[in-house]
Chain A
Amino acid sequence: MNPFAYSRPASLADTVNELAGSSRSRIIAGGTNLIDLMKENVERPAQLIDINRLPFSTIDELPDGGLRLGALVTNADTAYHPLVEQRYPLLSQTILAGASPQLRNMATNGGNLFQRTRCYYFYDTSMPCNKRAATNNGPGGCAAYGGYNRIHAILGTTDDTNGQSSCVATYPSDMAVALTALDAVVQVTGPNGDRSIPMADFHRLPGAEPWRDNTTQPGEVVTAIDLPTRGFPDHYTYIKVRDRSSYAFALVSVAVGLEMDGDVVRDARIALGGVAHKPWRKSEAEQLLIGKTLSPETIRPVADALLAGARGYGHNDFKIELAHRAIIRAVLKSGLDNGAVE
C-alpha cells in the first residue's frame, strides 16, 4: 500500500468537503474492496476518509411503507434484518449468496455498490486496461478483449477489433442485482446537495468512458438505499451459477420477483448479474411474461429478449447459453415454489 493520510470526519458535510477537495481522496467503509485494491496498487489514494462513525448504520421504515437501508449497515446485518427477511427475502438471499460470512460482516451496503470489477487485468497494473489507465495507472488498451475473458461481459460491452478502446468487464455485485429487480433508489449527498438515483441509472455501461463505473459525481457520498413497498415476498428466486458452490463470484446470476394471480403472472422483474458492466434488466422482456402461465415455452421468448444482442469474446461464449437456461429455471422456480437460492 502507498502511504496516505487518514481522517475521520465528524459530519457528512465535512466528509463531502474532504472528498470533493482532492481527486485522490477515497472514502473507506468496510474496506474489503478498497484495501484489497490498494494492496495491488490499483488504488493509490493520498487520503482515506473513514466514514464509519457517521450516522448511516440503521435500517428504518419509510412513511410510504418502504424500507431505508443505511449505507453503513453491513451486508450481514441487512440480510438478517427481520423486515428485510420478511418483506424482501430476495434481497436477503441474494446478499447471503455473496462473499463469505467474514466479508459480509464488514462489507457495507454503500461500499457494495461501489465495488469494482474483478477483471484480472484490471487488478494487474502491468497489463493494458482502459478502466485503470485513466487514473494514470498502467498502459491503456484492453487485455481482456483478446485475452482470457471467461468471467467477462456478454452484453452492453464496448468493443472494437483491436481492443484499443474496449472494456468487457462485469460489475460483480450480487446485492445490486436484487436491488435492481426491486427498483431500489440510491440516496446521495454531494457538493451540490442531495439527489436520488434509481438503481437502473446508478451503474453504467462502459461506453467511451470505461473508467466510470457509475453515475455518481466526484464528492458524492451514498447515505442510504431505499426499497419501495413491493418486495415480491411470495414468488422470488436468486440463482447464482459459479465455479464452486460458495465463496465465489457469479459467472451468471438471475434475480426474479413475480406477482401471481393463481397460475397467471401479474407482474415480473428479472435482473441478471455477471453478464454486463451493470445489473441487466429489460422491461420489454418482463412485459412478455404478463398474463402468461409459466412453462419453458412461455419463458423462452423472455430469455431471448433479455439476451438480445449478447456476444461472447471466446472464453466466455458459454455464458450466453448458461444465462438463457438460468433465466428459464429461475422464473419457473419463482412461480412454482417460493424459490430459495441454489
Chain B
Amino acid sequence: MLTETLPVANAPDALPATRPIELTINGKKRQFRLAPWTTLLDALREYANLTGTKKGCDHGQCGACTVLIDGKRVNACLTLAVMHEDHTITTIEGLADSATGQFHPLQQAFIDHDAFQCGYCTPGQICSAVGMLNEGKVENKADQIRELMSGNLCRCGAYPHIVDAIQEVMNKDR
C-alpha cells in the first residue's frame, strides 16, 4: 500500500486547569475557580452574579464595564480576574451604604436628574464619576467634566443630564 506523508494534525493543547482565585468584591471576600483567561468583567457577571456591571463593546471602547479597583476606575473587560487577587473591587452594587441601604449621592443625583434613558451605560457612568471625584483632578466645569468622563459613551445621548447630576454632587460637596 502506498503511504502518503501528511503533516501531523495536532489536537489543541489541553487546557490549563482552572485555579482557585480569591477576590474582594464590595467589601466581601469571595472564592472562585476560574481559568486564567476569565476577564474581570466575566468573573463579575458570570461567576459572581453581579450583573450590574455591563458588557458593551468588550474592547475598552465604551466604558460600560467601568468598576473601581482600589478606588480607581478601570475597564473590567480589558483585565483578567486572576490579576486582582490583592485588590479591592467595587461595582455599582457596592456603592450604596450597606448599613442603611441609602444610595450613593451620585446614584441619587442620576435619578433626580434623569441622567439616563435605557440605563445600559449608567452603572459604568456612575462608577466612572465616583472614580473621577476620587482622582480630584476635575474642577466643577462642564467642559472639564465632559473631557474626564469621555471614557463612557452613552448611546442614548443622556450626556447633558449626566453632567448636571455630577455637578450637583460637586456643588453639595463644597
Contact = CB atoms under 8 A, between A and B. Distances in A.
Place the interface of chain B in its size category: 35 or more
Interface stretch (B57-65, B96-104, B112-120): B57-65
Contacts of B15: 3
B75 A101 contact: no
A36 B62 CA distance: 13
Given A3-B13, A246-B147, A246-B150, A101 B135 contact: yes
B74 interface: yes
Contacts of A2: 37
Given A3-B15, A247-B150, A50 B60 contact: no
Interface stretch (B23-31, B44-52, B79-87, B164-172): B79-87
Interface in A1-29: 1-6, 28
Given A4-B37, A35-B39, A48-B36, A247 B75 contact: no
B127 to A, nearest CB: 9
A3 B78 contact: no
Contacts of A46: 13
A6 to B, nearest CB: 4
Contacts of A38: 37
Contact of B78 (A4, A36, A76, A101): A36
B79 A101 contact: no
B95 to A, nearest CB: 16
A125 interface: no
Interface string B129-159: 0011001010000000011111110000000
A269 to B, nearest CB: 26
Contacts of A1: 37
Nearest to B38: A1
Contacts of A35: 39, 77-80
A39 interface: yes
Contacts of B36: 4-6, 48
Contacts of A246: 146-147, 150
Given A6-B36, A247-B150, A50 B72 contact: no
Nearest to A247: B150
A103 B151 CA distance: 8
B145 to A, nearest CB: 11
B78 A31 contact: yes
Q: Which of A30, A39, A76, A100 has the most CB of B within 10 A?
A: A100
A99 B19 CA distance: 32
B78 A106 contact: yes
Contacts of B39: 35
A106 B66 contact: no
A56 interface: no
A95 to B, nearest CB: 13
Contact of A105 (B12, B37, B74): B74
Contacts of A4: 16, 36-37
A80 B137 contact: yes
Contacts of B79: 30-32, 35, 106
B128 A102 contact: yes
Given A36-B78, A101-B73, A247-B150, 8 more contacts: A3-B16, A50-B83, A80-B137, A101-B135, A101-B151, A102-B66, A102-B73, A106-B78
Interface of A: 1-6, 28, 30-32, 35-36, 38-39, 46, 48, 50, 52, 76, 80, 99-103, 105-106, 246-247
12 contacts: A3-B37, A5-B36, A31-B83, A32-B79, A36-B60, A80-B137, A99-B151, A102-B60, A102-B74, A102-B75, A106-B74, A247-B151
